[in-house]
Amino acid sequence: MGGVIPPPSRAGDLAATPRLADIAAQAKVSEATVSRVLNGKPGVAGTTRQRVLAALDVLGYERPVKLRRRSAGLVGLVIPELTNPIFPAFAQVIEQTLAGHGYTPVLCTQMPGGATEDELVEQLEERGVTGIVFLSGLHADTTADPSRYVELADRGVPFVLINGHNPAVAAPFVSPDDRSAARMAVAHLVALGHERIGLAVGPARYVPARRKAEGFVSALGELLGRAREETEPLIQHTLFTVEGGQVAAGALYDQGCTGIVCGSDLMALGAIREAWRRGLTVPGDVSVVGFDDSPLMAFTNPPLTTVRQPVQAMAAAAVGALLEAVEGNPVQPTEFVFQPDLVVRGSTAQLRPRG
């Protein structure tokens, strides 16, 4: 019979404890090896030790206190909200990457009526964070005062900023190529025969929205020979929400657009909703392209064609740059730009001739 791990010391914790035999079977090692690992004894290969600890995790049991790795420090992650699925997607990858390096992530979310970005940063500093990751924060807003980041650097807090570049801030930035993303979407629609194409995007004060608009104007000029003054009415700045996308799409449908490029997947869902409200089919009458490739976009009706934001690569680069700074190594205060990918699904199709 296999032995058992001593139960947790917390009073009143009645959770069942795993048997050595269960852990051994999961890790494909002997019970004696499991016992040596759990008791912190030498003589076990590193890979075998990791297999035993992974088996504990898989079986849903806490590791013995003496085997838990001490945190290398707290790292704050400041994000604007959780309703847009791209933000939790980023948060999950960033947190996993930080944890893999031994750091404890602290997620700070801004909510209407809640703490501001500045207040969250103050709270993080009070807790002695090792560094901070900003995702789509005030650094992306061209009307916001960048001095808050300059002062943060002066206080010796390493940080990295994702999505939105500000040349006044000497820090590493990580962004997707928003101009290229807009061009990909336009080129895809043009290849399908669409010539009246509109852009539904967020407020013009945000760097990603501004860059997408620039890419959109450039693509229409290059691919369809449209002058800039012709393209301006085809850009609708609104909120990065389903409702914002619906309003913007309505204005573009009124101008005869058969193809809509959107600044986010949520906006694209709003554009599809407005098409249905008008009795239009997607992609039969109009084609819609999103941006982000948020989780579940492959399962919408129709599945959404979108430009995928390279979340894994961007998150890894952001954490890597931050940890270099934390360790005292020089990091270029520059913008690292990542190429997105077009993911073609069911919301775009060849333009049907109108009879």
User: pLDDT (tens digit, 9 = 90+) per residue, 90-104?
Assistant: 999 999 899 888 889
Confidence of residue 278 (pLDDT cuts 50, 70, 90): very high
pTM for the whole structure: 0.81
As a whole number of angstroms, the distance between CA 130 and CA 157 comes to 7
Cα 228 to Cα 73: distance, rounded to the nearest angstrom:
50
133/72: higher pLDDT: 133
* Residue-level pLDDT at 54: 79
pLDDT band at 154 (very low <50, low <70, confident <90, very high): very high
pLDDT at res. 304 = 98
Predicted confidence at residue 355, as pLDDT, reads 55
What would the CATH number be for the domain defined by 73-176+311-338? 3.40.50.2300
Topology agreement, domain 20-67 and domain 73-176+311-338: no
The reported pLDDT for the residue numbered 5 is 39
In degrees and rounded to multiples of 5, residue 183 shows phi and psi of -65, -40
Per CATH, the architecture of 178-308 is what?
3-Layer(aba) Sandwich (3.40)
CATH number of 20-67: 1.10.260.40
Domains of the chain, residue spans? 20-67, 73-176+311-338, 178-308
- Mean pLDDT over the full length of the chain: 90
pLDDT of residue 52: 84
Kindly tell me if the per-residue pLDDT of 83 is higher than 90. no
Q: Which amino acid is at 102?
A: G
What is the average per-residue pLDDT within 164-176?
Answer: 95
DSSP E strand stretches across the chain: 73-79, 103-109, 131-135, 159-162, 173-176, 197-201, 235-237, 259-262, 287-292, 305-308, 335-338, 341-343
CA–CA gap between residue 339 and residue 99 (Å, rounded) = 26
Q: Is the pLDDT of residue 31 over 80?
A: yes
Span 297-355, pLDDT tens digits? 999 999 999 999 999 999 999 999 999 999 888 888 999 999 999 999 999 999 987 65
- Between 355 and 199, residue with greater pLDDT: 199
Q: What is the dihedral of CA 218, 221, 226, 232, to 10 degrees?
A: 0
**How many angstroms separate the CA atoms of 292 and 317, rounded?**
18
